Structure 1
Amino acid sequence: MTPPADATTAGRARTPIDRIGATVLNELVQSIVTGEYAPGDLLPPESVISVQFGVSRTVIRETMKRLQEKGMVTVAQGRGTHVNPSTSWNVLDPSVLTAMIENDSTLGVLDDLSVVRGALEAAMAAAAARTVDDDARTRLRESLETMEAHVDDSAAFREADVKFHLAVMELADNGLAENIARVLIAHAVGSDRFTGVDPAHAFELTLAEHTAILEAISAGDAEAARLAMSEHILGSWSRRRLPSKKRS
């Protein structure tokens, strides 16, 4: 993940990128994520990319600035634009994360995402347990009851599932962790690879795991809440994960 911009950069107003520029940007993000342009590669000059996409050099120049903000390239005057390794990318940037998931043939990105999400949400569940009160217990119980009421409706059940997790996050009162977890959820749940294939009685298993989380938080048992949330997220991913080739 790239570090935050310094105060000088953050204070500058960014020029809005138009629809054409956004299309060019997304295509270049895809090209870098898929390895068409590998780490260390020098991107073609602005004039070449301009002809390739049929847009002005001004659009390409703005696109390169956006790629640099995402940590995907380094623009050096007189030396061209080099592609950065994935460890430098801002993986919480929506277009970067979406492209990584879409091109995740080994499911390695989603494996890593589940581990990170599990750790974050486990910590937040523990925090929620430490400060739980009657209002929090009621809110979580109502979220679970909504899941139970929609166990025969896949879309509604999944929506209620996400809302349960968001409720736990809000109760934890950790804005940074919640923000990161929300990004991970938002850009994963729309992927067929993330959804995978549910085994028999998947929703019943999910309900049982959410009940364990609720009971641990309600009891004020931080360690039990942490373990219950971690086991749920990693176990749920393991159950529905599609077969894939191993990462090289």
Structure 2
Amino acid sequence: MAIYNLTDQLIHELGKQIINGDIIPGDTLPKIETLSESHGVSRTVVREAFKGLATRRLVKSIPKLGTIVSPRSEWQWWDTDVLAWASDSGNNRNFLLKLNELGFAIEPVAAKLAAKNATQADIEKMTECYSLLERSLGDKDTWAQTDYEFHKSIYEASNNELLVNMLQMLSKVQLDYRYATIASMNQKQYATERYLHFHKELLIAICNHDEKMAEEKMYELQEELAVILTGIND
């Protein structure tokens, strides 16, 4: 197996342990020689893995102390691997709530800009995405994907490349976010239908180029998600 494949495997293993809290900030990672022996890999692989973790700011090397796990505030949260590890972690609900908090800050802005900048082609795309979402009720996997595509169409209509790129970067965790919420909503079918209604009102506001209403409806949608996520067990 290529050295970089072994390195990536070790990065993912150690990275997940750090994100999960199995190795906490301030802890010292085992020595290179120890990890090399316990994982059956060369010291070069371990050194490269440490470099990969350091690039993501999960660890830092301190003279005479070794490789130390960094404080959470220093972690490179926008790294796609870090996001994926956090989304898959045992503390998944806490991370999803933080993702929802981010949604409060960003999604209403995207909706407002979409209402302002949407072309006829954008409106047709959003309407098509909503129709697919409507038809996906009761199908968890299809709902998660179509809901993501609906929100993606709103970001694209905003005519702001930075917002679009942010959504693309978060695509994996956004899908996990949707799987979690739809799983909870499926416990009561009316909740799913209520959630769909929020999307319809949002679409109407954007199609009418009503910036204020679009912003308000997206905020209401985020509030609904917050209630659902709060009810999910740890």
Interval containing the TM-score (normalised by the shorter chain): 0.7 to 0.9
Between the two proteins, the alignment pairs up a number of residues equal to 230
1:151 aligned partner: 137
Residues 1:154 and 1:22: Cα distance change in structure 2 (over 3 Å): same
Query: Tell me, what secondary structure is at the counterpart of 1:107?
Result: helix
Residue 193 of structure 1: how far off its partner (Å): 4.2
1:74 aligns with 2:60: yes
Greater mean alpha carbon deviation, residues 231-240 or residues 184-193? 184-193
Indicate conservation of the 8 Å contact 1:117/1:181, yes or no. no
Structural RMSD (CA): 2.4
Q: Equivalents in 1 of 2:36, 2:138: separation in Å?
A: 52
1:165 aligned partner: 151
Residues 1:20 and 1:77: Cα distance change in structure 2 (over 3 Å): same
Greater mean alpha carbon deviation, residues 200-209 or residues 99-108? 99-108
2:38 aligned partner: 52
1:236 aligned partner: 225
Residues 1:154 and 1:49: Cα distance change in structure 2 (over 3 Å): closer
Query: Tell me, what secondary structure is at the counterpart of 1:75?
Result: strand
- The structure where helix makes up a greater share of residues is 2
Indicate conservation of the 8 Å contact 1:121/1:230, yes or no. yes
- Matched residues, percent identical? 26
Deviation track 1:178-218 (CA, whole Å, cap 9, x = no partner) reads 22233334224236645441132233222211111111111
Q: Equivalents in 2 of 1:242, 1:156: separation in Å?
A: 23
Q: Equivalents in 2 of 1:243, 1:149: separation in Å?
A: 25
1:134 aligned partner: 120
Q: Equivalents in 1 of 2:3, 2:40: separation in Å?
A: 16
Uncovered stretches (5+) of structure 2, i.e. residues with no partner: none
Greater mean alpha carbon deviation, residues 51-60 or residues 214-223? 214-223
Q: 2:162 aligns with which of 168, 172, 176?
A: 176
1:101 aligned partner: 87
The amino acid across from 1:53 in the alignment is H
Query: Tell me, what secondary structure is at the counterpart of 1:82?
Result: strand
Deviation track 1:137-173 (CA, whole Å, cap 9, x = no partner) reads 2222222122223335443333222111110011112
- Spell out the pairing of 1:204-243 with structure 2 (5 A cutoff): 204-239=193-228, 241-243=230-232
Deviation track 1:197-246 (CA, whole Å, cap 9, x = no partner) reads 1132233222211111111111222221112112213313423554436x
Greater mean alpha carbon deviation, residues 63-72 or residues 20-29? 20-29
2:184 aligned partner: 197
Residues 1:92 and 1:228: Cα distance change in structure 2 (over 3 Å): same
Indicate conservation of the 8 Å contact 1:94/1:187, yes or no. no
The amino acid across from 2:207 in the alignment is S
1:89 aligns with 2:75: yes
Q: Equivalents in 2 of 1:128, 1:106: separation in Å?
A: 30
Indicate conservation of the 8 Å contact 1:150/1:156, yes or no. yes
The amino acid across from 2:107 in the alignment is E
Q: Equivalents in 2 of 1:137, 1:243: separation in Å?
A: 34
Q: Equivalents in 1 of 2:159, 2:219: separation in Å?
A: 18
Uncovered stretches (5+) of structure 1, i.e. residues with no partner: 1-15
Query: Tell me, what secondary structure is at the counterpart of 2:67?
Result: strand
The amino acid across from 2:31 in the alignment is P
Q: Equivalents in 1 of 2:24, 2:46: separation in Å?
A: 19
Q: Equivalents in 1 of 2:92, 2:128: separation in Å?
A: 38
